[in-house]
Amino acid sequence: MSAPPAVEALIDLMAKLPGLGPRSARRAVLHLLRKRALLLLPLADALSEVARTARECVTCGNVATADECPICTDPKRATGTLCVVEDVADLWALERTGAFRGRYHVLGGTLSALDDMGPEELGLPRLEARIARDGISEVILALNATVDGLTTAHYIADLLENRVLVTSLAQGVPVGGELDYLDDGTIGAALKARGRL
Amino acid sequence: MSAPPAVEALIDLMAKLPGLGPRSARRAVLHLLRKRALLLLPLADALSEVARTARECVTCGNVATADECPICTDPKRATGTLCVVEDVADLWALERTGAFRGRYHVLGGTLSALDDMGPEELGLPRLEARIARDGISEVILALNATVDGLTTAHYIADLLENRVLVTSLAQGVPVGGELDYLDDGTIGAALKARGRL
């Protein structure tokens, strides 16, 4: 063993992060040791702080450091529109666009017979209760365009039928996309949903 | 801001690690939050522990948690042979091979007029003192085969001439290397240093 046990333990843990392997974890730890004041100490503090305070927002499921997340407690956000996403990463992706100013609901997964994820496990009764309680008028289903995501979207749309307007993200050509490189399904969907210029 | 400030701060710090950018840092932090008990808490503890205890080995410059590193305090390692490396990453790379059982000396860089690194800044007087004090009989220069590395190696070899045997790593064809893909300099060096089979 060339490094002290505490340093080896840190390298082993860093190597478990997505995007880092054993070699890049070693490189990252050496970088931390070289930038002690600038990076190692602040990162140790930030990680301890997050480990101490981070939890799930009781209302929407986003990451929070209090009972509710910054979005649920923001009085400037519209309360009538609810955007349903699969996980927190999707919520953050939507937030980065700045295009949505309503509230969110994080499912934490999709319906999946293989993974034993039924409507109960996905917290759909909780979603229904929230829609009734908060007087939601539109539910935007922003689930991934995968088989599981579409299945879940259709299930939720059926569940909420006649109670609230249910919409979903448009399917079509991505910005900057070239037709020649797109799959047939996407081109077909874009053609079907074409609009006036 | 979609995440609480403490989480955003952690993401910003993680993005400064080599091998991670803003996007992969976000992914890593979400992974940590999902694996709270298994990864987030142990990593926070390990990082605090390293931040508290890690320092430079007073003898060789390796990472240590005491005054001396595990290699310098290992009584089973030969004391007569000293391997000089540029930085700690190189020391660890040599240790992984298990091919060297002597002691190390980490320079922490190379001679460089541009970066104002002279013999004093590189601690060469300290290296000379150590060689005399520890009764070193051979100094292996395991510096990178770059221009700066070679310059530094020649300088040290001149400095220690007639006092101790100075050797350097062999240059040649890497294991598994194909001649067709090697540069002319490497093939030339391998030909010049050819040996009996």
C-alpha to C-alpha distance for B193 and B50, rounded to whole angstroms: 44
Task: Evaluate whether A110 touches A143 at the Cβ level (below 8 Å).
Answer: yes
CB within 8 Å: A2 and B70: yes
pLDDT in tens, A36-53: 999 999 999 999 999 999
C-alpha to C-alpha distance for B121 and B44, rounded to whole angstroms: 35
Which of A13, A41, A53, A58 is the best substitution to test chain B (most B C-beta atoms within 10 A)?
Answer: A13
Q: What is the mean pLDDT of chain B?
A: 94
Q: What percent of chain B has pLDDT over 90?
A: 91
Predicted confidence band of residue A1 (pLDDT cuts 50, 70, 90):
low
pLDDT at B197: 86
For residue A61, give both structure tokens. Answer: 């499921």
Stated pTM of the model: 0.85
Which of B14, B24, B43, B86 is the best substitution to test chain A (most A C-beta atoms within 10 A)?
Answer: B43
Task: Give the closest of A2, A43, A49 to B95, CB-based.
Answer: A2
State the span(s) of chain B assigned CATH 3.40.1360.10.
63-196
pLDDT in tens, A53-82: 999 999 999 999 999 999 999 999 999 999
pLDDT at B78: 93
Chain A: closest CA distance from residue B147 (Å): 23
State the span(s) of chain A assigned CATH 1.10.8.420.
5-53
Q: Does A27 touch chain B (CB under 8 A)?
A: yes
Please say if the pLDDT value at position B1 is more than 70. no
Please say if the pLDDT value at position B120 is more than 80. yes
Top-confidence residue, B2 or A159: A159
Fold of B63-196: Dna Topoisomerase Vi A Subunit; Chain: A, domain 2 (3.40.1360)
Q: Does B3 touch chain A (CB under 8 A)?
A: yes
For residue A154, give both structure tokens. Answer: 């259709």
Which residues in chain A are closer than 8 Å to B69, comparing Cβ atoms? 3-4
Residues 61-120 in A contacting B (C-alpha not used; CB under 8 Å): 62-66, 69-71, 87-89, 91-92, 95-96
Task: Provide CATH code, domain A5-53.
Answer: 1.10.8.420
Please say if the pLDDT value at position A113 is more than 90. no
pLDDT in tens, A114-144: 888 999 999 999 999 999 999 999 999 999 9
